[in-house]
Amino acid sequence: MMQLIKQLLKSNFLRILAIGYSLFVTVIMLVPITKGPKVNIPFFDKIVHALLYFLFAIIWLFYFRSLGKESKSIYVFVSIALFIYGIIIEVLQGSYIVTRTHDNWDIVANATGIIIGVLVFYKAKDTFLSKK
């Protein structure tokens, strides 16, 4: 099992995963919304944003780790890049997508997900990702 995990963590797989996930998030955030089921969970949209960006941070940090690039500057780079990406997506939603609106609280939820993702990765990396 450990061998399988190590194989999956090689950089080619992680590069495809990181780019694929980035495209996935871009598409789901920019595709116009049609009428769908109404979810009656308070703050559901914000929870979804936080989870998406939590995974975003984790996936990109895994990728950089697989390249042997792990330092505080990588954590900062990933955090800032994802934060700016989230702002750009919100501006595009508010400016160009008729069925979407700009929401500053989405940016806060994105940032929360990024921070939690970076902290979880940092704390768990030595426990689960030891390079033996």
Distance CA 61, CA 127 (A): 15
Three-class SS state of 131: coil
Q: Which residue is associated with the tokens 């914000």?
A: 46
Distance CA 46, CA 1 (A): 35
Quick count: other Cβ atoms within 10 Å of Cβ 19?
A: 13
Q: What predicted TM-score, i.e. pTM, was given to this entire model?
A: 0.82
The pLDDT of residue 37: 64
Confidence of residue 132 (pLDDT cuts 50, 70, 90): very low
**By percentage, how much of the chain surpasses pLDDT 70?**
81
